[in-house]
Amino acid sequence: MRNTEGQIGADRDLYSTVQPYAQQMLDVGDGHVIYVEECGNPDGIPVVVLHGGPGGGCSPGMRRFFNPNLYRIILFDQRGCGRSQPHASVDANTTWHLVADIERIRTLMGVDRWVVFGGSWGATLALIYAQAHPDHVRHIVLRGVFLMTARELDWFYNGGAGTFFPEEWRKVTDLLDGSEKDEVIAAYHRRLFGDDEGEQTKFARAWTQWETALATLRPRIGSVPIPAAYARAFARIENHYFINRGFLHEEGQILKNIAKIAHIPGTIVHGRYDMICPPKSASDLAAAWPSSTLHMIAQAGHSLSERQISSALVDVMDGLARNALKYCRQI
C-alpha cells in the first residue's frame, strides 16, 4: 500500500460532456428493467461506473472523468433508481442482485476484463463485485470509501456526524418521537415504507437532505428543495440497504475477504474531511490491500463534484490510460 496526500490532480479539468453512442433498457429479471448507456470509444479501455446511494442513479457528469478517445465508458442506473424501472422499488433489490446485474452487463457488452470505478456506495459495490468476480477486473478505482460496517452507519445515523452539524441533524431527528431518535434508520424505515405517500415524501426529503448537506467540504446548508421523486427513490432504497446491513453475510465482510482481490491493483481517492464516509475506512482498506494506492485529498470532503476530488480522479484515469497505451506499444 502506498499513501499520498494532496500530490495528484492539483488542477485537472474534467473532460467535456459526451453523448452516449448506445442506450438500452435491459431486462434483468425479477420485474426490473435497468437503464444502460455506453459513451466514448467503442474500442477503448472498458470502464464500468458504479454510482452511489444506493439509489442515487448515474448522471451525464459521471462520463467526464474519462478521456472519451481512450475509454469505453459504461454507466447504468441500479435497480429502482434513475431511469430504471420500477421506480423506487426494493423488491428483488439487494447487493447480490446488483452484482449479478453488473456481470450481465459485462457479458452482454462482450467485455473480458474492465476497470471498475465507484464512489461512496459505488465503492462498496465495486469491492464486493471484484471479490465475487476477480478474474474480470483489471483495476479498481474508488472514491469516498464505504465498507458497509456498523461503525460507519452508527457514525452517520446515530449522532456522530451530527455533533459537527447539530442544526442539520435536528432536522432529521425532530420528525421522530422520543426513543425513536436512538434508532434513526429503523424509525425512518417505518415511515418510508408506510401507506401514507405524503409522509413517505416528507421523510424521504429529510433523509436525502441530511446526506446532501454534508457531502462537500463547504456544507450545502439551505440548498434548493430536493425533487420528491428523486428523494423517494434515494431514501427508500438506501434505507432498505442500510437496515439490512448491505445484505452482507457478516460484519466486516469486505476487509475479511480482501485476499480475493490482493493481486488486483487499486487506487483510492478520499477527502480528508469526508463527513459521510470518515477517512478511517479508506485507511483501513489501503492498509489491508497490498496492491492499492491511497490518495488522501487534503482540502476535500465526500462529493464527486469537489474540485480536488474530481481533478485527482481525472489524473488517475489518465494515468491508467497512459500505462495501457505504453503496454500496447511494447507487445
Check 32, 89, 101, 274 and give the catalytic one. Answer: 274
Q: Do 9 and 313 meet the contact criterion of CB atoms below 8 Å apart? A: yes
Check 120, 281, 303, 311 and give the catalytic one. Answer: 120
Cα–Cα distance measured from residue 91 to residue 149, given in angstroms and rounded to the nearest whole number? 23
Q: Do 320 and 265 meet the contact criterion of CB atoms below 8 Å apart? A: no
Q: Which of 114, 88, 106, 131 is nearest to 28 (CA)?
A: 106
Q: Which of 261, 239, 283, 193 is nearest to 55 (CA)?
A: 239
Q: Do 265 and 247 meet the contact criterion of CB atoms below 8 Å apart? A: no
Cα–Cα distance measured from residue 139 to residue 63, given in angstroms and rounded to the nearest whole number? 18
Cell representation of residue 84: 430504471
**Which amino acid makes up residue 227?**
P
Cα–Cα distance measured from residue 270 to residue 89, given in angstroms and rounded to the nearest whole number? 31
Cell representation of residue 147: 465498507
What is the C-alpha R_g of the chain? 19
**303 included as an active-site residue:** no
Cα–Cα distance measured from residue 116 to residue 165, given in angstroms and rounded to the nearest whole number? 33
**120 included as an active-site residue:** yes
Check 139, 189, 302, 303 and give the catalytic one. Answer: 302
Hey, which residues are catalytic here? 120, 274, 302
